[in-house]
Amino acid sequence: MAKNVARYQEAMKRGEAMIAQKKWREALGLFRLAVQEFPNRPEPYVGLGEACIGLRQLDKALDCYKYAARFSRGDIQHLQKVADIQERLGLLSEAARTYTAVGEILLRQREIDNAINHWLRAVGLEPNLLGAHRRLASVFHRRNDIKGAVREYLAIARILQQRGEKENALQMCRAALRLDPDSKDVMTAIELIRFGEEAFADEEEEEEEEEEVVAAEPNDDLATAVRQMASILEEERQNWKSTQEQARKAAAGSSPVEIARRLAQEQLAEEIFRDEEDDDILYGSDSGLSKLERDALIGQAMDYETRGDVKEAIVCYEKAVNGGLDMPAAHFNLGLLYLQAGRPEDARNALSLAAQSSHYAQAGQLVLNQV
């Protein structure tokens, strides 16, 4: 084993020296030796990728960086390199999906500005990429960027209309209208969705035929890349949960109310990350908000809590709950905020709802006894 390590280290050291001298073929051979010694380490694949780029073998470089991303369990730098090479090769749909995956990881790391940049890059390459538009809509809404959020809601509506999902498209227009009731763009979009179907019938039929062809003959490389990204994202999700669990254990000596408060924050943050398969929940209905809107309000409420702005946090939680959010975590946080705002009766009602969950029963009762 010691000999393997020595050979690996020597090959890596000499390979990096060859890279510095731009001796690409020599570097290629040395990094291949390193891979033979330790095929599951990401570093030699990065070296191979750099050498392949130097030799202008982008297709081989792409494979190398995919291996680096896989064996590093989703290192951001390697994923960004994958996306960059995909873009340079003209694999725009694949690059867009990789940028979207990177944005998801960055969101979980709370690097929201960086995540936004990756999602914007993704939709710039693939305008019909629904997942990236959804994230942008929710984040812009959360940040009170009305213009940006409305633009993304309308982009989602356009994509859904093209897919023949008229009602879901209208729900996204209504979400945009709630943000900007006087928007002429939103009203125009609603009219087009309601009455413009016959004018676009031929075009929609052609699009449906094209979609069927794509569905019948998927790109194997793209499918593999998407599966890899999904696996990496799931690992990130599990790592995030593990970190939160450790934090809970560290707080074991805290009061039941404090432990419950931290749990509520974790569950609400996880709700923002959660993917929703049910269209009725995702896009909402006439009587409730879409999940995208509720996620934005949860994020706003948590931001206001962090800053100590009790009044605004209450407003956001109330909007989310009235719009269909029925989570004990939200009721518990809202109850605590009502107490801080001097509204004991409202606090009692909210904490009673939270106490129906075993996670909040003890803490809710303790606070209710104080009320």
Q: For the domain 251-370, what is the CATH code?
A: 1.25.40.10
Band of pLDDT at residue 365, cut at 50, 70 and 90: confident
More confident residue, 235 or 81: 81
Domain ranges of the chain: 251-370
Output the pLDDT for position 229: 52
Sorted by sequence, the CB contacts under 8 Å of residue 109 that are 6+ apart come out as none
Pinpoint the alpha helices (H) of the chain.
Answer: 2-20, 24-37, 42-54, 58-71, 76-88, 92-108, 112-125, 130-142, 146-162, 166-179, 184-195, 201-216, 220-250, 256-273, 279-283, 291-307, 310-322, 328-340, 344-354, 358-370
Output the pLDDT for position 245: 58
CA 111 to chain centre: 11
CA 91 to chain centre: 22
Output the pLDDT for position 273: 83
Output the pLDDT for position 75: 87
Give the separation between CA 270 and CA 274, rounded to whole angstroms. 6
Output the pLDDT for position 296: 94
More confident residue, 255 or 155: 155
pLDDT tens-place string over residues 247-288: 555 545 578 899 999 999 999 998 988 887 777 778 887 668
pLDDT tens-place string over residues 80-116: 999 999 999 999 999 999 999 999 889 888 899 999 9
Give the separation between CA 72 and CA 45, rounded to whole angstroms. 10
Q: Tokens representing 8?
A: 């690996």
pTM for the full model?
0.78
Residue 260 identity: A
